[in-house]
Amino acid sequence: MGLFERIFRIGKSEANAVVDKLEDPIKMADQVLRELKDNYQQAIVGESEVKAAALQHRAEEQKARSKADEWEKKANDLLDLVEEGKLDAEKGNSLASTAAESHDQATKQANEYAAMAQKEEQALAVMETAIQQLKDKIAEAENRTNLLKSRAKTAQVSESINKTLSSVDTDGLMGTLDRMDAKVTAQEFRSQAYAEVRDTTLSSEQEINKILGTSSSSALDAIRAKRNANKLS
């Protein structure tokens, strides 16, 4: 493989990667659905035009056949007059011949209109089948687009949640809680130890009063007792 070919393939691969990133699934699905519906509308317009042409040609065919019947009747009427001697034979035959030619011309036109109408009707049959298939494709595209939107929304939410959860250090957070629990437990133990140390430093009287639920007299109580004694004396 030549250098330029390898460079071309690398460039093409990178271009495809860029395009793939730019393609939004929902937008692309909506675009596909819009194009299908646009094609359907164009097909309906085309079908209407062909159907109108077929109807017009059938009407022209009927008109030409009626005209052919009129010319045929005129030719027969002229021949009847000639046979009855009511019209000069030379003149009658000449006029009858002209009427017969007009009959043939009208019949030819009718056959041409009929052929055109037949082709258009055959084309309509093919178009109707194609349009029905297109309608089925549109229904399928709508269902798939709705499903794709639902899947995309679920995937987007799931991706966001999973991305958030993947960045959470649960082990580290729980480890932090364990350390804080250990610190509080150690503080509780220290508090209990200080209380036990304080109890060992009490005097005998303080320890007795603590057990009995009493405390030693304060200096103010002593003064009050002395005042009461002086009053009694």
The CATH number covering residue 153 comes to 1.10.287
The pLDDT assigned to 22 comes to 53
Are 15 and 125 in the same domain?
Answer: yes
Confidence class for position 199, pLDDT limits 50, 70, 90: low
Are 51 and 114 in the same domain?
Answer: yes
For residue 85, pLDDT over 60 is answered with yes
Kindly state the average pLDDT of the residues 201-223: 62
Are 37 and 59 in the same domain?
Answer: yes
Are 152 and 225 in the same domain?
Answer: no
Question: Is the pTM here over 0.85, yes or no?
Answer: no
What percent of the chain is modeled with pLDDT above 90? 51
Kindly state the average pLDDT of the residues 141-166: 87
Contacts made by residues 122-129, CB under 8 angstroms, sequence distance 24+ = 123/50, 124/47, 124/50, 124/51, 124/54, 127/43, 127/46, 127/47, 127/50, 128/47
Are 7 and 22 in the same domain?
Answer: yes
Kindly state the average pLDDT of the residues 156-168: 80
Surface-to-core class of residue 57, CB atoms within 10 Å of its CB (0-12 exposed, 13-18 middle, 19+ buried):
buried
> Of 76-90, 169-183, 190-204, which one has max mean pLDDT?
76-90
For residue 181, pLDDT over 90 is answered with no
Q: Which of 63, 41, 175, 155 is nearest to 110 (CA)?
A: 63
Are 156 and 225 in the same domain?
Answer: no
| Residue 29 or residue 110, greater confidence | 110
Q: Which of 135, 111, 159 is nearest to 47 (CA)?
A: 135
When the pLDDT of each residue in the chain is averaged and rounded to a whole number, the result is 83
The pLDDT assigned to 208 comes to 64
Domain limits at 75?
Answer: 3-168
| Residue 41 or residue 195, greater confidence | 41
Are 109 and 198 in the same domain?
Answer: no
Are 153 and 212 in the same domain?
Answer: no
The structural domain count of the chain equals 2
CA of 83: how far to CAs of 69, 76, 87, 95, in Å? 21, 10, 8, 14
| Residue 120 or residue 215, greater confidence | 120
For residue 228, pLDDT over 80 is answered with no
Instruction: Answer with the one of 115, 148, 168 that is the final residue of a domain.
Output: 168
Kindly state the average pLDDT of the residues 82-89: 93
Are 41 and 126 in the same domain?
Answer: yes
The pLDDT assigned to 19 comes to 44
The pLDDT assigned to 140 comes to 94
